[in-house]
Structure 1
Amino acid sequence: MCLSDNFGVVIHDPESGRTASIDAPDAETIADIVRRKGWTLTDIMATHHHHDHTGGNLALKQEFGCRITGPKGEADKIPGLDEALGEGDVFSFGAYDFQVFETPGHTAGHIVYYSPKAGVLFAGDTLFSMGCGRLFERGAAEMWSALTKLKALPGDTMLYCGHEYTLANTRFAVTVDPDNTALRERVAEVEALRETGQATLPVSLSTEFATNPFLRADDPAIRAHLGMTDAGNEEVFAEIRRRKDNF
């Protein structure tokens, strides 16, 4: 955990010796992990330009000489950027390839990284457990389109995202999906984890498909509860996001 509630994920490929940080919220925290492991940070995989995800870029680059990869749509806003990636590009990390998806909504050029081989999705602030990022730079239609891409990924993919927002998200989720048994079970699980100071991530996408209202704007039960049975998916998603913003 970095800063107040950011997650900084560090991955290592023993075969190539490469080590990457997914975003860089806090340089010292990430550097300390890498040093203790006896690794050298070779890469930073940036998802978007917000300072709480890029604030450690330059200090880490100065110490380790790491290469910084990030979104094409925000290339001018990512400190120390070496390589810009967009939709359909592949980031090769030793024995693992990460597919890049553009997911505008939270920011205009946000990207996520998905590795079929590792079965992991690094979603930044596009997708949270039982939540999604606020729509700061793009609208509901673009974010719903972005989330639809993630809905197509295998359910056994493990989700890593940028913040520990899960407990707060559960409290909202039940207000728009009150009769969802899987959601109630997940709420209890999250409450137990947080009571003992444990992280709620990673979590499988299959769990999110069953419990995250932002991925389920097409769900009949949610649509009925909102009184939007005949509305389009984008319109339903926009209403869920509006309610969360005012929750």
Structure 2
Amino acid sequence: MKKSVLIIDDEEKISRLLQLELSHEGYAVEIAQTGKEGLEKALAHTWDIIILDVMLPELNGVEVLKQIRKVDNHTPVIMVTARNTTTDKVSGLDGGANDYITKPFEIEELLARMRASMRHQLESRATSAQEEDNPPYLQVDSLMLEPKTRSVMREGKRIELTPKEFDLLHYLMEHKNQVLQRDQLIQDVWGFDFVGDTNVVDVYIRYVRKKVDHGYKKKLIKTVRGVGYCIREEDH
């Protein structure tokens, strides 16, 4: 059975070209040319992956993504942006995107990102299916994280995290006392199959550290110069 792809892009030439290329690769492709039409199609059917442009008429791509994620946390979404800035990328990822790609791009790169995003989603679902066999919470010192409820607390105080901040902290705590390289974090937390923009990792570590460590005497998230990051209860 063909994998289904929804392309939401108001540039007709680009969307038609993508439709031809993806159809040639064996995908079943549909197109929407406005944010409103794209949201309606996204919610009306089940898709294997969605390609979503940021700049759209009627409803921009970031808002479309937010509305999708209110009811669907599973379908992989690749954001398409014309601006290659860390802020734009973080904004899309924070809204629930699985990946991003900057215009102009080669079809081979898009295909690789699509495969990586869909594979990562399958792995995530397999991990979720095994949750009942795992401990109900993770703990590092006074920091506690409950995967099922996606809640985080430290010294009894609730810590509010965005979805991607939670995923990053979850991964750090699953591998506590291990030094994790930036490339490893990008691949396993964001699901990229290649060495991506490691600035994204640094930005999110800064966000998480501010929420988890700020105001506490004992700092849990450590920077290992020239290597990456880890979370541990005390310096070794």
Same fold (TM over 0.5): no
TM-score under structure 2 length normalisation = 0.28
**Higher relative helix content:** 2
TM-score under structure 1 length normalisation = 0.27
Question: Larger radius of gyration, structure 1 or 2?
Answer: 2
